[in-house]
């Protein structure tokens, strides 16, 4: 999920929340625990179309409605769910065999065509799908894109050359092959992402065109089916789909209650109107352990928070300057005091959530040493004024101000935090090469591979390389790693690439995230995974 | 002509007999201002308000007289520490000295209140005086204009306007708030001015001045304004207090001062979510804000009472 994390929570409309709270689905005493209804708090999803869902609210709901080809165990090893097998001999041509017996919620059988059609739709440029970039590796992707000749001007972009990916081929009803433009050993894991869910024939208005109201009541192949439609800004209800051939859910249904503010979710949890809060807001962290007792829980996730140096800003062009700034930041103090221990200091460029993570791969540069930092900063002639630009809607002001205060004290510089209203405003300023100073960024992995923390973020032209870092040696190592025949070999090469980052410091790693969640007494076995989603097949009602 | 002359003559004080004070000396002619001052001197509310206002103004002008601490020197390691010898109000979330920030916060509040009130005063003076003096269609147009601005909900309009004016996130929003408050709050002043001018312009001394050949400018500013100004000044004093409080409200809502400005509104808004942990960073700026607003409003009230003969 691209850098927009954490989720935007708009302010207002408490009336709607009260309305939602009034319709609490607590489940009556007559039904057994297996048929009980539980409720989970989310924000309003942007979309419920798999290929256009790159934020965690929509992904949370879709995970109940759809069953992925592969999922991940506790060690992030992919295992097949809807797929019988995913095989490749050369990491370039992948054969996907589907399990027999899966049906969509309208009774339709799930077949190879459902995947191929959905993926072609995802990749086709004019559809404007947020998850389109996941298809970049598939052969023929470029032919499905077209460039607008005059940017935002009046001329319309020409139609792309092709409408379907040449890399997708149907073998039989339950088998298809995916040909990549370059070998990638991690492709099996990539296919676990939301974008790769299948779509039923009933979803299409005509060939390649989705029905406009499909996302109001998505028909999926998952353990739950939608009950009614998506009630915007209020709730989304799902109920158990009895014909689901896979692992059965342990509850009868889930109500996803939609909130504008995280603090309101927490208040509802306290008031008994909500069962699960997946992210307890910072404001409540000091009191939450006492409020919730053993229902206050933490688990690791894949969030990585950092600040980047746009390469067009010459004052940060010296690596010594970037390193000195990094060494002048006391990460531990910020995670303890601002985040109340809900995040941990980052000392590497990848999250421990993926194989290949090494503690302290950033080395001295991420170790707090104010004296050395000051000496190095002065010697390298660092700028007298430092600026950190952040998006003001994500709750970043507190830690940016704290970081600035540390830099002021430790480096003797002037430091200001500048809050842009939205992340997109920040990106616009970076594109216009304005003096934004350091920029705040965050990353949740898309698929559990070390490569996901390298290629998209630092590769030349990477999808989220907003600062413009480019190093051919790095690009080469990531590419070689992706093409390596085994995961171990791949990791070795990726680790070498990470070492280059530690040397060049294009960004300063700051913090690693953690899920800090809580639940009511009505539910048990609540787990939140590394993608910040509730494990929907594990949650149970207590009575 | 002769008629007017004779009336004017009869009004000259002392012509018919100089009033004699008990000790036999001639008493100075009593003016409205003089009476009001006599009244104010004996009003403890006036003195309390005046002392507070002077204190806040000195605080805004010379904050270093009150504290030697730097309001920008913050360290997370001191987060939410309680009151101590070095920081008598304790430390806030970022580990900044709450006392120092509260003292330094006075400047923005007072300056915004002052500038906004000056803008409101100038607009109100011009519009009110023009409407009252010229009357006729000019009055009709201006008075309806006042009604229209008065009909706009101040806070709602201020939120929209302040956000539009200060779109650049690097801007502290100071002048945006000043302008917003100024252009939205001049109506009461204009109405008061209009009615005072209407009552003053029919006085005989105005007629006399006109007969003597004074033009509209001279009449308005030399003859009418001094006699119509008192209630207007009172309204502006009260408005100053109201503007300070509205500034804090806008800042609390995130559309007033922002970024690295030091202000009571910002401090109140950042401390609010942590009130269950520690209340002092919220309580002290709130008390200072409340006292300042109260001081200006009480001062205005006391002056109004003194100038209003009916309340004497």
Question: pTM higher than 0.95, yes or no?
Answer: no
Region A24-40: mean pLDDT is 67
A283 interfaces chain B, CB cutoff of 8 Å = yes
**A2/A157: higher pLDDT:** A157
**A283: chain B residues, CB-CB within 8 Å:** 273-274
What confidence tier does B215 reach under pLDDT thresholds 50, 70, 90?
Answer: confident
Q: CATH no. for residue A529?
A: 3.40.190.10
**A156/B255: higher pLDDT:** B255
Residue A21, pLDDT above cutoff 50: no
Q: Count Cβ atoms below 10 Å from residue B150 Cβ, excluding itself.
A: 14
Element (H, E) at B24: none
A230 and A365 share one domain: no
Residue A456, pLDDT above cutoff 90: no
**A393: chain B residues, CB-CB within 8 Å:** none
Q: What is the pLDDT of residue A329?
A: 95
**B73: chain A residues, CB-CB within 8 Å:** 409
Is A150 among the domain residues?
yes
* A362/A528 Cα distance (integer angstroms): 28
User: Which residue from A513, A395, A515 is spatially nearest to A60, judged by alpha carbons?
Assistant: A515
Residue A22, pLDDT above cutoff 60: no
Report the residue from B93, B259, B277 with minimal CB separation from A398: B93
Q: How far is CA A86 from CA A79, A93, A199, A241, A482, in A?
A: 9, 10, 19, 26, 17
Q: What is the pLDDT of residue A463?
A: 77
Q: What is the pLDDT of residue B312?
A: 56
Name the least confident of A85-99, B144-158, B168-182.
Answer: B168-182
Region A381-395: mean pLDDT is 86
**B261/A32: higher pLDDT:** B261
Question: In this predicted model, what pLDDT tens digit does every residue of A40-60 receive, in sequence order?
Answer: 999 888 889 999 887 788 889
Average pLDDT, chain B: 84
Q: Count Cβ atoms below 10 Å from residue A339 Cβ, excluding itself.
A: 20
Inter-chain Cβ pairs, chain A and chain B, closer than 8 A: 48
Q: Report the DSSP beta bridge partners of residue A88.
A: A94
Handedness of CA A283, A284, A290, A295 (dihedral sign): negative
Question: In this predicted model, what pLDDT tens digit does every residue of B278-296 receive, in sequence order?
Answer: 888 999 999 999 999 999 9
Region A31-39: mean pLDDT is 82
* A205/A214 Cα distance (integer angstroms): 9
A267 interfaces chain B, CB cutoff of 8 Å = no
Tokens of A428: 């616009």
Name the least confident of A107-116, A527-536, B2-11, B259-268.
Answer: B2-11
* A402/B76 touch (CB, cutoff 8 Å), yes or no: yes
What confidence tier does A432 reach under pLDDT thresholds 50, 70, 90?
Answer: confident
Max CA separation in chain B (angstroms): 86
A394 and A533 share one domain: no
Minimum distance, in Å, between the CA of residue B153 and any CA atom of chain A:
19
A424 and A315 share one domain: yes
Q: What is the pLDDT of residue A281?
A: 84
Is A294 among the domain residues?
no
Tokens of A409: 């004290």
A211 and A227 share one domain: no
Last residue of a domain, one of A216, A238, A254: A216
A168 and A229 share one domain: no
Report the residue from B93, B260, B276 with minimal CB separation from A416: B260
Residue A321, pLDDT above cutoff 90: yes
**A418: chain B residues, CB-CB within 8 Å:** 169-170, 259
A361 and A418 share one domain: yes
Q: What is the pLDDT of residue A16?
A: 36
A345 interfaces chain B, CB cutoff of 8 Å = no
A328 and A470 share one domain: yes
| Plot region of A27 (φ>0 → left; ψ -120 to 50 → alpha; else → beta) | left
State the Rg of chain B over Cα.
24
Residue A10, pLDDT above cutoff 60: no
Binding-site residues on chain B for chain A (CB distance < 8 A): 72-77, 79, 93-95, 169-170, 258-260, 270, 273-274, 276-277
Tokens of A70: 């592969």
Question: In this predicted model, what pLDDT tens digit does every residue of A487-498 receive, in sequence order?
Answer: 889 999 999 999
A window 419-438, beta carbon within 8 A of B: 419-421
* B94/A402 touch (CB, cutoff 8 Å), yes or no: yes
* A392/B273 touch (CB, cutoff 8 Å), yes or no: no
Residue A265, pLDDT above cutoff 50: yes
Residue A341, pLDDT above cutoff 50: yes
* B292/B248 Cα distance (integer angstroms): 12
**A330: chain B residues, CB-CB within 8 Å:** 76
Reported ipTM: the value is: 0.74
What confidence tier does B77 reach under pLDDT thresholds 50, 70, 90?
Answer: confident
Report the residue from B77, B260, B274 with minimal CB separation from A283: B274
Q: What is the pLDDT of residue B310?
A: 67
Is A281 among the domain residues?
no
- Mutate which: B73, B76, B255, vs A, most A CBs within 10 A: B76
Question: In this predicted model, what pLDDT tens digit does every residue of B12-38 receive, in sequence order?
Answer: 444 444 444 455 455 566 677 788 788
Is A11 among the domain residues?
yes
Q: Report the DSSP beta bridge partners of residue B60.
A: none
Q: CATH no. for residue A194?
A: 3.90.76.10
Name the least confident of A116-125, A411-420, B9-18.
Answer: B9-18
Kindly identify which residue of chain B lies nearest to residue A395, measuring between CA atoms.
B270
Region A281-309: mean pLDDT is 89
* B116/B239 Cα distance (integer angstroms): 9
* A388/A402 Cα distance (integer angstroms): 11
A480 and A344 share one domain: yes
Is A465 among the domain residues?
yes
Minimum distance, in Å, between the CA of residue B155 and any CA atom of chain A:
16
A406 and A382 share one domain: yes
Q: What is the pLDDT of residue A4?
A: 43
Q: What is the pLDDT of residue B14?
A: 41
What confidence tier does B10 reach under pLDDT thresholds 50, 70, 90?
Answer: very low
* A413/A411 Cα distance (integer angstroms): 5
* A405/B260 touch (CB, cutoff 8 Å), yes or no: no
* A287/B79 touch (CB, cutoff 8 Å), yes or no: no
Report the residue from B75, B259, B274 with minimal CB separation from A409: B75
- Give percent of chain A above pLDDT 90: 55
Q: Count Cβ atoms below 10 Å from residue B309 Cβ, excluding itself.
A: 10
Is A293 among the domain residues?
no
Is A187 among the domain residues?
yes
* A86/A81 Cα distance (integer angstroms): 11
* B274/A333 touch (CB, cutoff 8 Å), yes or no: no
A402 and A348 share one domain: yes
* A416/B273 touch (CB, cutoff 8 Å), yes or no: no
Residues whose CB is less than 8 angstroms from the CB of residue B41 and which lie 6 or more positions away in sequence, other chains included: none
Region A307-317: mean pLDDT is 91
Residue A345, pLDDT above cutoff 50: yes
Q: What is the pLDDT of residue B237?
A: 92
Question: In this predicted model, what pLDDT tens digit does every residue of A352-372 receive, in sequence order?
Answer: 988 899 989 998 999 999 999
Residue B3, pLDDT above cutoff 60: no
Q: What is the pLDDT of residue B253?
A: 84
Minimum distance, in Å, between the CA of residue B260 and any CA atom of chain A:
7
- Mutate which: B72, B75, B267, vs A, most A CBs within 10 A: B75
**A2/B183: higher pLDDT:** B183
| Plot region of A340 (φ>0 → left; ψ -120 to 50 → alpha; else → beta) | left
What confidence tier does B69 reach under pLDDT thresholds 50, 70, 90?
Answer: confident
* B273/A420 touch (CB, cutoff 8 Å), yes or no: no
Name the least confident of A33-37, B3-7, B66-70, B183-187.
Answer: B3-7
* A405/B259 touch (CB, cutoff 8 Å), yes or no: no
**B72: chain A residues, CB-CB within 8 Å:** 408
Total count of domains within chain A = 3
Report the residue from B76, B170, B259 with minimal CB separation from A333: B76
A495 and A367 share one domain: yes
Using DSSP's 3-state secondary structure scheme, residue B146 falls into helix
Minimum distance, in Å, between the CA of residue A464 and any CA atom of chain B:
24
A245 and A145 share one domain: no
* A416/B76 touch (CB, cutoff 8 Å), yes or no: no
**A405: chain B residues, CB-CB within 8 Å:** 74-76, 94-95
Q: CATH no. for residue A489?
A: 3.10.105.10
Q: What is the pLDDT of residue A11?
A: 31
Kindly identify which residue of chain A lies nearest to residue B81, measuring between CA atoms.
A337
Residue B48, pLDDT above cutoff 60: yes
**A148/A159: higher pLDDT:** A159
Residues whose CB is less than 8 angstroms from the CB of residue B223 and which lie 6 or more positions away in sequence, other chains included: B205, B206, B209, B214
Question: In this predicted model, what pLDDT tens digit does every residue of B224-235 receive, in sequence order?
Answer: 888 788 888 889
Last residue of a domain, one of A195, A216, A237: A216
Cis peptide before B59 (omega within 30 of 0): no
Kindly identify which residue of chain A lies nearest to residue B77, measuring between CA atoms.
A333
Report the residue from A286, A334, A402 with minimal CB separation from B277: A286
Tokens of B133: 């003096």
**A526/A286: higher pLDDT:** A526
Instruction: DSSP for A365-397, please give it.
Output: GGS--HHHHHHHHHHHT--SEEEEEEEGGGT-H
Tokens of A485: 């025949």
Residue B164, pLDDT above cutoff 80: yes
* B94/A401 touch (CB, cutoff 8 Å), yes or no: yes
Average pLDDT, chain A: 87
Which residue range is the domain that position A48 belongs to?
1-66+222-275+520-543
Residue A448, pLDDT above cutoff 60: yes
HEC per residue, A117-128: HHHHHHHCHHHC
| Plot region of B134 (φ>0 → left; ψ -120 to 50 → alpha; else → beta) | alpha
What confidence tier does A31 reach under pLDDT thresholds 50, 70, 90?
Answer: low
Q: What is the pLDDT of residue B27?
A: 59
Region A238-243: mean pLDDT is 93
What confidence tier does A295 reach under pLDDT thresholds 50, 70, 90?
Answer: very high
């Amino acid at each position: 999920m691209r850098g927009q994390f954490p989720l935007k929570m708009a302010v207002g409309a408490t009336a709607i929340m009260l309305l939602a709270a009034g319709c609490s689905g607590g489940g009556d005493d007559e039904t057994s625990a297996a048929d009980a209804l539980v409720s989970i708090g989310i924000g309003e999803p942007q979309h419920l179309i798999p290929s256009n869902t790159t934020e965690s609210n929509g992904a949370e709901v879709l995970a109940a409605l759809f069953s992925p080809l592969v999922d991940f165990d506790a060690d992030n090893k992919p295992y097949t769910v809807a797929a019988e097998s995913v095989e490749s001999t050369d990491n370039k041509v992948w054969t996907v065999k589907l399990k027999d017996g899966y049906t969509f919620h309208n009774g339709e059988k799930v077949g190879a065509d459902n995947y191929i059609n959905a993926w072609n739709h995802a990749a086709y440029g004019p559809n404007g799908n947020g998850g389109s970039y996941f298809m970049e590796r598939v052969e023929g992707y470029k032919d499905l894109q077209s460039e607008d000749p005059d940017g935002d001007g009046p001329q319309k972009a020409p139609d792309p050359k092709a409408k379907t990916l040449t890399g997708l081929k149907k073998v039989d009803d339950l088998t298809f092959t995916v040909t990549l433009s370059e070998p990638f050993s991690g492709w099996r894991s990539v296919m676990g992402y939301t974008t790769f869910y299948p779509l039923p024939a009933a979803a299409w208005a005509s060939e390649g065109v989705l029905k406009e109201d499909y996302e109001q009541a998505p028909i999926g192949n998952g353990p739950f089916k939608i009950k009614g439609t998506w009630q915007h800004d209020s709730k989304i209800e799902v109920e158990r789909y009895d014909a689901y051939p896979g692992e059965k859910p342990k509850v009868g249904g889930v109500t996803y209650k939609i909130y504008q503010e995280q603090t309101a979710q927490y208040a509802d949890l306290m008031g008994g109107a909500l069962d699960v809060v997946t992210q307890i807001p910072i404001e409540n962290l000091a009191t939450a352990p006492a409020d919730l007792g053993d229902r206050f829980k933490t688990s690791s996730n894949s969030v990585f928070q950092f600040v980047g140096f746009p390469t067009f800003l010459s004052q940060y062009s010296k690596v010594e300057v970037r390193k000195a700034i990094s060494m002048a930041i006391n990460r531990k103090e910020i995670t303890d005091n601002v985040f109340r221990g809900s995040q941990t200091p980052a000392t590497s460029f990848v999250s421990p959530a993926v194989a290949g993570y090494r503690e302290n791969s950033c080395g001295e540069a991420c170790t707090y040493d104010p004296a050395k930092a000051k000496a190095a900063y002065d010697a390298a002639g660092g700028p007298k004024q430092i600026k950190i630009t952040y998006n003001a809607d994500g709750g970043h002001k507190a830690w940016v101000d704290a970081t600035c205060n540390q830099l002021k004290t430790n480096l003797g510089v002037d430091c200001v935090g500048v809050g842009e209203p939205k992340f997109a405003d920040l990106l616009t300023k970076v594109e216009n090469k304005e003096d934004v100073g350091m920029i705040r960024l965050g990353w949740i992995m898309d698929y559990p591979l070390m490569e996901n923390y390298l290629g998209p973020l630092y590769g030349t032209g990477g999808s989220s390389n907003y600062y413009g870092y480019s190093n051919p040696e790095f690009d080469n190592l990531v590419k070689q790693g992706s093409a390596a025949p085994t995961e171990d070999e791949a990791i070795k090469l990726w680790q070498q690439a990470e070492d280059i980052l530690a040397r060049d410091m294009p960004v300063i790693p700051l913090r690693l995230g953690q899920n800090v969640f809580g639940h009511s007494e009505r539910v048990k076995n609540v787990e939140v995974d590394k993608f910040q989603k509730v494990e929907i097949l594990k949650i149970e009602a207590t009575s | 002509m002769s008629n007017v002359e004779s009336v004017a003559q009869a009004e000259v004080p002392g012509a018919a007999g100089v009033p004699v004070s008990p000790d036999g000396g001639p008493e100075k002619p009593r003016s409205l201002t003089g009476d009001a001052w006599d009244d104010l001197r004996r009003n403890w509310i006036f003195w309390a308000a005046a002392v507070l206002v002077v204190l806040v103004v000195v605080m805004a002008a010379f904050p270093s007289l009150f504290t030697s601490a730097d309001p920008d020197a913050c360290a997370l390691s001191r987060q939410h520490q309680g009151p101590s010898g070095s920081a008598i109000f304790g430390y806030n979330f970022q580990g900044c000295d709450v006392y120092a920030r509260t003292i330094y916060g006075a400047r923005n509040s007072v300056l915004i209140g002052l500038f906004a009130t000056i803008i409101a005063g100038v607009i109100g003076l011009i519009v009110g005086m023009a409407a009252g003096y010229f009357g006729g269609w000019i009055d009709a147009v201006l008075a309806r204009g006042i009604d229209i601005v008065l009909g706009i909900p101040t806070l709602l309009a201020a939120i929209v306007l302040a956000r539009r004016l200060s779109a650049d996130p690097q801007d502290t929003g100071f002048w945006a708030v000043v302008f917003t408050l100024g252009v939205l709050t001049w109506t009461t002043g204009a109405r008061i001015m209009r009615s005072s001018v209407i009552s003053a312009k029919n006085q005989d001394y105005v007629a006399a001045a006109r007969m003597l050949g004074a033009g509209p400018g001279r009449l308005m500013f030399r003859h009418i304004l001094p006699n119509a100004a008192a209630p207007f000044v009172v309204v502006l004093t009260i408005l100053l207090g109201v503007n300070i409080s509205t500034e804090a409200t806008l800042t609390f809502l995130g559309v007033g001062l922002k970024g690295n400005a030091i202000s009571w509104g910002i401090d109140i808004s950042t401390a609010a979510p942590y009130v269950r942990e520690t209340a002092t960073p919220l309580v002290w700026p709130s008390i200072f804000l409340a006292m300042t607003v109260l001081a200006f409003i009480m001062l205005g009230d006391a002056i109004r009472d003194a100038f209003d003969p009916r309340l004497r």
